[in-house]
A = this chain, B = another copy of it.
Amino acid sequence: MPEIKRCVLSLSGGMDSTSLCLHMLNGGYQVYGLSFQYGQKHAIELERLRENLSYLKSKGFNVYHQLIDLSSTMGAFDSALTKQHIDVPEGHYAEDNMRSTVVPNRNAIFASIIYGYALSLAQEFEQEVKLGLGVHAGDHAIYPDCRPEFYDAIDKAFKLGNWNSELANYYLPYLSMNKADILQDAIKSTGDLSLDFTTIFRNTLTCYKPNSQGQSCGRCGSCNERLEAFEIIGKTDPAPYFVQN
- Mark A residues whose CB is within 8 Å of B: 34, 66, 68-70, 72-74, 76-79, 99, 102-109, 111-113, 115-117, 119-121, 123-124, 144-145, 147, 149-150, 153-154, 156-158, 160-163
CA of A158 to CA of B109, assembled, Å: 10
**Do B74 and A116 have beta carbons less than 8 Å apart?**
yes
**Do B72 and A66 have beta carbons less than 8 Å apart?**
yes
The count of identical subunits is 2
- Distance in Å: Cβ of A150 to nearest Cβ of chain B: 4
- Distance in Å: Cβ of A61 to nearest Cβ of chain B: 22
For A157, the chain B residues whose CB sits under 8 A away are: 108, 150, 153-154, 156-157
**Do B78 and A124 have beta carbons less than 8 Å apart?**
yes
Known: A154-B154, A163-B99. A120 touches B104 (CB 8 A): yes
Q: Taking CB as reference atom, which chain B residue is nearest A150?
A: B161
- Distance in Å: Cβ of A9 to nearest Cβ of chain B: 14
CA of A109 to CA of B78, assembled, Å: 19
- Distance in Å: Cβ of A3 to nearest Cβ of chain B: 18
With beta carbons under 8 angstroms apart, the residue of B72, B105, B120, B124 that contacts A162 is B105
